[in-house]
């Protein structure tokens, strides 16, 4: 068996074309979706991610800006800026790029962003909403995985899903989102004993550990769907996922490549959340 390659780039492109239409519809009501991105400090990877987000916004007609705050910024100043943006009617989404410097109170920052503008889906209200089904915004990376599965027509209900990685931004919300779709979900992490005894049972295996080559063919069930969320830079500069792609593709029914799988969907879902926020506000106002 050779797996179908799930093309995240193609789905991301198709979705972004649809976004331009939705932005056009909002414009007819005098609304331009707006996204504010706050970047603290000089982390080069963060600067690259922020640059990509701003560029993607402008390509679909979202008005966005990145505000660069020095690494020395205090908690009060950062929180004050978020409060201003919460009150700005032109901004439908607010995002604080993570990671933040250690002196910044990250939980407080995330809770200060209005849940109605929390397009990253990290506010406690939105995190809790994943449990109860009342979330305003779903976190972008697991939301992108759900969209990929839907687009590929891969059923989730009743399937054994194993998630490798239990972070707040990927693994845990992924588990909740797939539970909400009636999958049977197991979550593994760095302290899991004998990872393979779990992964081998997966009909759908989602891997978000940040360990290149963690998943090898012997750990994968014949015919499984394998979603590789990992993004790792190898010493030679190449980007690779957490799955031994060449080995596992011979066993899986479908697999996401890295790059070109989940990655392009993450920014796409940020655009989706920002447009959705503007649409929600317009609906509430009319
Ligand atoms: P994280 O470091 O916050 O969490 C990693 C998780 O994996 C932890 O729960 C840890 O216990 C688990 N883990 C680590 N080593 C393991 C091992 N050997 N076996 C089993 N579990 C193990 O990372 P994160 O922010 O969730 O990101 C995970 C990966 O996904 C990274 O490579 C990151 O770059 C990537 N990522 C990609 C996107 C995207 O858009 N595609 C978005 C976010 C993160």
What pLDDT score does 38 carry? 98
Regarding pTM above 0.85, the answer is yes
- Residue 8 has what pLDDT? 98
| 97 catalytic residue (yes or no) | yes
Q: Mark whether 55 is an active-site residue.
A: no
Whole-number percent of the chain with pLDDT over 70: 100
Q: Is 197 a catalytic residue?
A: no
Q: Mind listing the pLDDT tens digit for each residue in 247-281?
A: 999 999 999 999 999 999 999 999 999 999 999 99
- Delimit the domains of the chain by residue range: 30-114, 140-263
Read off the DSSP letter of residue 284: H
**DSSP, res 218:** G
Distance CA 157, CA 178 (A): 8
User: Residue with structure tokens 């990250």?
Assistant: 106
Q: Which CATH class is domain 30-114?
A: alpha beta
- Per-residue b/e over 177-204, b at no fewer than 16 CB within 10 Å? bbebbebebbbbeeeeeebeebbeebbb
Q: What is the pLDDT of residue 286?
A: 81
Condensed to tens digits (0 to 9), the pLDDT of residues 109-152 reads 999 999 999 999 999 999 999 999 888 999 999 999 999 999 99
The hierarchical CATH code for the domain 140-263 is 3.40.50.720
Task: Give the residue, out of 163, 165, 171, with the most ligand 1 atoms within 8 A of its beta carbon, to mutate for a pocket test.
Answer: 165
**Which among 6, 171, 186, 209 is the best mutation to test ligand 1's pocket, defined by most ligand atoms within 8 Å of the CB?**
209
Task: Give per-residue pLDDT as tens, 84-117.
Answer: 999 999 999 999 999 999 999 999 999 999 999 9
Instruction: State the catalytic residue, choosing from 7, 117, 118, 120.
Output: 120
pLDDT in tens, 210-225: 999 999 999 999 999 9
Q: Say whether 140-263 and 30-114 share the same fold.
A: yes
Distance CA 125, CA 113 (A): 11
Tell me, using a 6 A CB cutoff, whether residue 186 lines ligand 1.
Answer: no
What pLDDT is stored for residue 9 in this prediction?
98
pLDDT of residue 1: 75
Q: Looking at ligand 1, which atom is closest to the CA of residue 171? A: 26
pLDDT value of position 208: 98
Asked whether 208 lines ligand 1 (CB < 6 A), one says yes
Q: Kindly write down the DSSP assignment for every residue of 154-170, as one continuous string.
A: ---TT-EEEEE---TTT
Helices 263-285 and 140-151 cross at an angle (nearest 10°) of 100
Q: Determine whether the shortest distance from the Cβ of 247 to ligand 1 is under 6 A.
A: no
**211 alpha carbon – ligand 1 mean position (Å):** 7
- Which residue is closest in CA terms to ligand 1's atom 24? 167
For range 194-206, the mean pLDDT: 98
Ligand 1 center–CA 169 separation, angstroms = 9
């Amino acid at each position: 068996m050779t797996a179908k390659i799930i093309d995240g780039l193609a789905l991301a492109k198709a979705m972004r074309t649809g976004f331009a239409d939705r932005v056009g519809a909002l414009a007819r009501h005098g609304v331009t979706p707006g996204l504010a991105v706050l970047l603290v400090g000089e982390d080069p990877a963060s600067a690259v991610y922020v640059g990509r987000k701003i560029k993607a916004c402008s390509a679909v007609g979202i008005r966005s800006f990145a505000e660069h705050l020095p690494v020395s910024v205090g908690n009060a100043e950062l929180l004050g800026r978020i409060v201003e943006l919460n009150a700005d009617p032109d901004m439908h989404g607010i995002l604080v790029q993570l990671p933040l410097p250690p002196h910044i109170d990250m939980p407080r920052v995330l809770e200060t962003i209005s849940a109605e503008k929390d397009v990253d889906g990290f506010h406690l209200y939105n995190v809790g909403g994943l449990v109860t089904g009342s979330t305003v915004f779903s976190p972008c990376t697991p939301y992108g995985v759900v969209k990929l599965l839907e687009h590929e027509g891969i059923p989730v209900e009743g399937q054994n899903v194993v998630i490798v990685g239990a972070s707040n931004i990927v693994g845990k919300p992924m588990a909740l989102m797939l539970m909400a779709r009636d999958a049977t979900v197991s979550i593994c992490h760095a302290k899991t004993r004998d990872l393979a005894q779990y992964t081998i049972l997966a009909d759908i295996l989602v891997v978000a550990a940040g360990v290149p080559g963690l998943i090898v063919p012997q750990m994968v069930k014949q015919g499984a769907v394998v979603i590789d969320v990992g993004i790792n830079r190898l010493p030679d500069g190449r980007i690779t996922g957490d799955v031994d792609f060449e080995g596992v593709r011979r066993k899986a029914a479908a697999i996401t490549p890295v790059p070109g799988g989940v990655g392009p969907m993450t920014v796409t879902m940020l655009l989706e959340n920002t447009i959705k926020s503007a649409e929600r506000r317009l609906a509430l106002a009319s």
